[in-house]
Structure 1
């Protein structure tokens, strides 16, 4: 008997995060939206489960990822959910904190253990928090690196600004202890599908 199909977990692919404000600087992964759209099409064409998580930031009053800013809180066009796809709103880094995501994954696993494929924003923050949390909960994870993106960050020691690509490389590297990291064109093969 073959295992149940993998879940695609779409994290914080919102207009105001994917197309962040100018003061965030450029983001990594130039083909992010193209890869996201490709993966969503693949999952939907096979009727595999897709779950969406959105960030509603309650700590930074001007963050565009807030329900009170509907245009920037909205899903990015590359990742707009279908009405049948469950959606969760979180207020913290991990998508498991304060949401019903765990309950939904457990419901989906009644047919057997599923792999979770993660895509989204920001690779160094919410993607990282969610993936490491999921690994601690015992889930098997695959992160599609080129369907994740980061903005730059400040080096904690020197205060030097690290570029978006450098931050993305480091973020994906950190996740190797919690998940298998692949690129879009290798995702299905890695999962055992062609």
Structure 2
């Protein structure tokens, strides 16, 4: 891996509302620490940082605007950043201001994606970035998710969902899935 000086760090939905017990069991208790390490490294290198916040429209959501859960977690709340995007859907590319336009105006072709939830907004943003032609890296240990139920009583653990995301993104050619240490060593 080789990151140029314009490689952008996209920090997805690292919000206090994800600490709500209603989400259920989560994986990767080191996610926030790894996100913090990435943010610090990007800030120290003077590379662009994009913070993304999910402003849920769902009634009673812990991520709804105006609720304490909508706020960013302390690990990123005071982080230096070059762009702050708000969104109401999974992909940061459908937020305000326009992420793709901002990246393209600056000639940014490499993005590193981290945040919450691995198999939801992080995976969707990474897939879209890959489809749009960006060189995408996803340090899987700088993400976390929660157990999830599907149709017919099917249930996957957070760890199973994270593994599926890694296979979907890397195996599908959307992104290079690595560790935080690999990104920081590049």
- How does the TM-score come out when normalised to structure 1? 0.87
Aligned residue-pair number: 181
Higher percent of residues as helix = 2
What is residue 79 of structure 1 aligned with on the other side? 76
Note the 1:1-194 alignment, pairs <5 A: 3-17=4-18, 19=19, 21-58=20-57, 60-69=58-67, 71-82=68-79, 84-99=81-96, 100-109=98-107, 113-156=108-151, 158-176=152-170, 177=172, 178-189=174-185, 193=186
**Superposed CA offset, 1:103-139 (max 9, x none):** 1111221xxx531000011111111111111111111
Q: Determine the C-alpha separation between the residues in 2 that align with 1:136 and 1:10.
A: 19
**Could you list the runs of 4 or more consecutive aligned residues of structure 1 that deviate by over 3 angstroms after TM superposition?**
2-5, 81-84
Q: Determine the C-alpha separation between the residues in 2 that align with 1:118 and 1:98.
A: 15
Contact 1:96 1:130 in 2 (8 A): yes
Aligned-pair Cα RMSD in Å? 1.7
- Structure 2 CA distance for partners of 1:8 and 1:83, relative to 1, 3 Å: closer
